[in-house]
Amino acid sequence: MTCTITHHLSTGKTIRKGTPSPRPGRWDVSVWFLLPSGEKSTHSVTINGVTLTDLVPAVAERLDEMIAEMGNDVREAGWQAHGRGPVKRRKH
């Protein structure tokens, strides 16, 4: 199973594509910020051992920390997470 989640903080809109794994897994998260100067800054984060329901609060916590490091001077922010389910073994 493969799932991609996109979330925009300014609109609060979350878009899910695919089916998330019911088991905790690894999520590769790309966070982006739009600064008042018009510059776009991106960061990558990996979050391990969480399900989709635990992912959103975990990313929100890290996002708040990153925004605070930037001096709360962010015009817009959002993130995209990509996760895969466990590898299925082939039956011979």
pLDDT tens, 71-81? 888 888 999 99
Percent of the chain with pLDDT strictly greater than 70? 93
Q: Mean per-residue pLDDT for 11-34?
A: 88
Query: pLDDT band for position 69 (50/70/90)?
Result: confident
Q: Would you say 15 and 5 are in contact if contact means Cβ atoms under 8 Å apart?
A: yes
Q: Would you say 34 and 40 are in contact if contact means Cβ atoms under 8 Å apart?
A: yes
pLDDT digits (tens, 9 = 90+) for 44-54: 989 888 888 88
DSSP string of 37-90, one letter each residue:
TS-EEEEEEEEEEE-HHHHHHHHHHHHHHHHHHTTT--SEEEEEEEEE-PPPPP
Q: The whole model's pTM is what?
A: 0.79
Residues 6+ apart with CB under 8 A from 65: none
Domain boundaries, the chain: 2-84
